[in-house]
Amino acid sequence: MKLSKTTMKHFVEIAKETADKFAKRSPEEHIPLAKSMIAMAVKAISVAGMGRIFMDEKEIDKLTTMYDVCWEEMEARLMEPPPDADSEREKNFQQARAGLHDLIRDMIKRRRQDEDKAEKTVH
């Protein structure tokens, strides 16, 4: 993948936003570093693949939360039998999984609309 100047600007912006969040915290306040770094990585990868539409913090938080639920459940299934189909655990997993699918589908749709607009502007 070739990184454009615009993409690099977005990466720098993401890094600065993350650093600013850390700087605003008091020295005694806990920094959820793992969660923050995952969110930063997801945001950077998503912006590179999907464009500027994925800079919204709410979208990142939503994706990260659903991803965590799915990942933890998949790890649990490696160690123990899967939960019953009607269990709360299975319902939470299926809901998060469907939410991820919907979010990605929506991002692709928005990305295509942005490309269509850009193409019409150029021609």
The string of pLDDT tens digits covering residues 67-121 is: 999 999 999 999 999 999 999 999 999 999 999 999 889 888 887 887 666 555 5
Separation between Cα atoms, residue 48 and residue 13, nearest integer Å: 13
The answer to whether residues 38 and 61 touch, using CB atoms and an 8 Å cutoff, is no
| DSSP symbol at 54 | G
pLDDT tens per residue across span 10-66: 888 889 988 999 999 998 999 888 888 888 888 888 777 776 666 677 877 888 889
Backbone angles phi, psi at 94, to 5 degrees: -65, -35
